[in-house]
């Protein structure tokens, strides 16, 4: 069984999320460089151990380094997919510089929260997962009526459908982080996924956006542009007739706002 978010809506087609694309490019370039420079697995692991964040050591400068380091292609690909889906909406609302600062802040918050609970751990923490979980926390508050496009593969059944963003994000975190974390605590086992860092990033993003939402420069403009489209979508329903018939229309066009009753 495979359930994977592959997009979201609505999006402003006229807005280009340069910072978000740059963050994705930076992560990809950093990983390719690491793999090309440290070709053997032993050399690669030694580089990670030297430059990644280790809670028992607690070197602050390694927090930023570890945010651009990944353990493998699957790790990188999954993180960049989520950043591509959710990051552009936050950049539109916070502005380019504001988004960059917010991204780094939630990444640091995720790592520090993980370090606070795993202070004696000598296992290196790498990846943008904490920061991207933080971006999802920002998105949860900033885009409550957005929908996530989900791809489902269940043996011979294949489908693509839309779900309210808050529903799918809540389910995803419970299934991917909360339950595995509780299991690992109860049976005293470790794993290769820093679930506490993910949850720390989510909490950091939620708190930060609650503080920024009243003053974010692009928040009101984005909400006004999306209101005609969001008005026809209620709750977690995957499809509603009138909404789906006009789903591909640009909600930021003035004509759509004037004829919102037709959406």
Q: Is residue 213 part of a domain?
A: yes
CATH number at residue 16: 1.20.1540.10
Counted domains in the chain:
1
User: So what's the pLDDT on residue 71?
Assistant: 87
The pLDDT, as a whole number, for residue 146 is 93
183's CB contacts (< 8 A; 6+ apart) are 189
Domain contains 258: no
Side-chain half-sphere exposure of 160, counting CA atoms within 13 A: 5
pTM for the full predicted model = 0.83
Model pLDDT, residue 212: 93
* Residue 68 counted as domain residue: yes
Enclosing H/E stretch for 159: strand 157-164
pLDDT reported for residue 252: 47
Q: Is residue 231 part of a domain?
A: no
- List the chain pLDDT tens, one digit each, 263 residues: 788 899 998 888 888 999 999 999 999 999 999 999 998 989 998 998 888 999 988 788 899 999 999 988 999 999 999 999 999 999 999 999 999 999 999 999 999 999 998 888 888 889 899 999 999 999 999 998 899 999 988 888 899 999 999 998 998 898 888 888 888 765 444 455 688 899 999 999 999 999 999 888 788 777 776 765 655 544 444 444 455 555 545 444 434 433 333 33
Q: Which residue has the tokens 């991917």?
A: 176
Which residue segment(s) compose the domain that 137 sits in?
2-225
Q: pLDDT value at position 220?
A: 77
């Amino acid at each position: 069984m495979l359930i994977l978010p592959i997009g979201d809506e609505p999006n402003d087609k006229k807005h280009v999320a340069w910072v978000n694309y740059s963050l994705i490019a930076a992560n990809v370039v950093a990983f390719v460089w690491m793999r090309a420079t440290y070709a053997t697995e032993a050399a690669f692991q030694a580089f990670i151990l030297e430059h990644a964040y280790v809670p028992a050591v607690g070197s602050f400068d390694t927090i930023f380094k570890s945010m651009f380091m990944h353990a493998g292609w699957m790790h990188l690909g999954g993180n960049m997919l989520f950043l591509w889906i959710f990051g552009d909406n936050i950049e539109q609302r916070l502005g380019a510089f504001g988004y960059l600062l917010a991204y780094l802040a939630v990444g640091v918050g995720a790592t520090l929260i993980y370090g606070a609970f795993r202070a004696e751990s000598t296992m290196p923490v790498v990846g943008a997962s904490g920061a991207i979980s933080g971006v999802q926390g920002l998105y949860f508050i900033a885009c409550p009526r957005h929908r996530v496009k989900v791809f489902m593969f269940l043996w011979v059944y294949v489908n693509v459908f839309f779900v309210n963003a808050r529903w799918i994000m809540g389910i995803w975190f419970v299934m991917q982080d909360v339950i595995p974390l509780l299991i690992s605590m109860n049976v005293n086992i470790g794993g290769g996924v820093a679930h506490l860092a993910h949850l720390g990033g989510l909490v950091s993003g939620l708190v930060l956006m609650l503080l920024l939402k009243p003053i974010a420069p692009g928040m009101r403009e984005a909400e006004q542009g999306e209101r005609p489209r969001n008005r026809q979508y209620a709750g977690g329903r995957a499809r509603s007739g009138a909404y789906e018939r006009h789903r591909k229309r640009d909600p930021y066009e003035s004509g759509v706002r004037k004829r919102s009753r037709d959406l």
